[in-house]
Structure 1
Amino acid sequence: MVAISPDEFYARLNKTLAGAGAFITDPDGRVLLVKPNYRAHWLWPGGHVDEGETPDQACAREIVEELGMALPVGRLLGVHWVPPFGDRPVPLVHFLFDCGSLAGCDGLVLQEEELDECGFFDEDEARALMPSYLIHRLHAALDARRHGTTFYLTEGSHEYMP
């Protein structure tokens, strides 16, 4: 038997990206979404987990970077395994955290390099702004928050819109 080095062993393993998002609502229960300038759709504040970060730390950092304010990162609402699609050749594991409520977008300072706008939207309005896989995550997050549960989603790439 030929032994392989740890470097070679780890180089052969599947690669997966990790992302973290902030689930924020207003007092009426509408969810805060942001419109990135590099995507055709809206989503919640967040981004990739950097080296050396945990998902909750990444969520806190992204809130400050994207919204210009610090918010407490609450409990994990759920995890969504997103298969490769489009120009992303590896899966994404997305962690969505409950980050409370805000009265509105006043006081938010959007990250100009990445975001064009933000707003609070109900489920029907969000459906028109987000691809189907994010709508599934939105429904799961609303249910998880409402019932104090945690979701785990795995959906095939056929459910993704370009």
Structure 2
Amino acid sequence: MTTTSAPDERPSVAMTAEAYGALRASAALWAGTSVLITNRRGQVLLQRVSYRPTRLLPGGAVDLGESPAQGAARELEEELGVTATFTRGLAVDWVSPVGRTTPPAMKFPGELLHVFDGGIWDKDQIAAIRPAPGEIEDIEFVEPADLPALMSPGDARRALSALRARISGAGPAFLEDGLPIVPTVLDRVGVLRTARARHHFPFHPIPVPDGLTIRQSWVWAFAPDGRVLVLLDPGGGAACLPGGTPEPEDSGDPTATAIREAREEATAELAGTRYLGYLSDPDEPCARVRYAAALTSLGPALADPATGRTYARILATPEQVLQFFDWGPPAAAQLQAVHHARTILRIPKAAHQPVTELAGPTSW
């Protein structure tokens, strides 16, 4: 019996089944699997294990005859005592022989490591975790920006790439030693590699009380498809909505502040600006006001005169936007107000779709 290495190969390169099997076995790789789980705040679940000094995502080697998804489910049950089924992949990583430090005697041939989406867990799901005695010493949820300090370099790169793929919504990322073969804008600017803004400030959908100083004015600027404008700092990957602090030329009008800042930071023009409410800071008697508006146009990307930075401009759904920040439970009330204003502006709810970069001028 003969076979070929591909269905369309010419008979002149035919091989015996035994030779073909030996050839493929000589190029065999390891197969691994892991699961990315976050809590409601967007923090990543890591395991502290007894056999390594660095933290790990849940997961391990794929057993003989087992699919990567089956392996992920088995590992999660063995390590955390949780039963789950995985249907969505976030990344496939080619871990090269030089991309992982292993003992020479192990003869590490390289590995294809799959990362599955374990979802966003609530308090009840987290409380049900039962770490495997003797193997899993503890679990913790950590900020994405802290992953490089807690994991090995390759593991941290892979986890961050997988998390960006989840947020972006563009489908699974194909990685080499943790880095995307085709980086998205989130990868290029390094979103999540610096600490997210942590503002667990109460949201009040009412006018700012008299005498309370307004420190900040931000705007949820809607494109016609229901997505909103987000600015990404090219220097550190930090995200923000258009807006900033009041200046004398705003004459005490926070709406004017939002419009001016959107123009300066993103060359964005707005229409139909609507007040949403304000955030109160328990440590400082001030208000941080929030607006919604319709985007009418974007000019060329220019440096913000206040910071000297030229922001990357993206469109993301309001739900994607929340994943760039750590705003805590009050974010739900703000999101509700955002969607209410969207309906008043007669803008449809955005369909789930990948983040889009706006590199040049655009008009709607």
TM range (shorter): 0.7 to 0.9
Alignment partners' CA distance in 1, 2:136 and 2:42 = 23
Larger radius of gyration: 2
2:143 corresponds to which residue? 122
Over aligned residues, Cα RMSD in angstroms? 2.1
Alignment partners' CA distance in 2, 1:114 and 1:5 = 45
Alignment partners' CA distance in 2, 1:67 and 1:7 = 42
Q: TM-score, normalised by structure 2?
A: 0.40
Q: Which has the higher contact order (CA 8 A, sep 6+)?
A: 1
1:7 Cα deviation after fit: 4.2
2:159 corresponds to which residue? 138
Alignment partners' CA distance in 1, 2:133 and 2:17 = 42
The correspondence for 2:134, drawn from 98, 106, 113, is 113
Q: Is the 8 A contact 1:74 1:99 kept in 2?
A: no
Alignment partners' CA distance in 1, 2:64 and 2:57 = 22
1:38 corresponds to which residue? 51
Q: Deviations over 1:2-48 (max 9, x none)?
A: x9764454334212010111111000010111122111211110111
Q: Is the 8 A contact 2:58 2:76 kept in 1?
A: yes
How many residues align? The count is 155
In structure 2, stretches of 5+ residues that fail to align are 1-11, 179-364
2:102 corresponds to which residue? 86
Q: Is the 8 A contact 2:73 2:86 kept in 1?
A: yes
Please give the residue correspondences for 1:1-162 in structure 2 after superposition, counting only pairs within 5 Å: 6-12=17-23, 13-84=26-97, 85-87=101-103, 88=106, 89-104=108-123, 105-149=126-170, 150-155=172-177
In structure 1, stretches of 5+ residues that fail to align are 157-162
**Aligned partner of 1:137: which letter?**
R
Q: Is the 8 A contact 1:26 1:102 kept in 2?
A: yes
Q: Percent identity?
A: 33
Q: 4+ runs of 1 displaced by more than 6 Å?
A: none
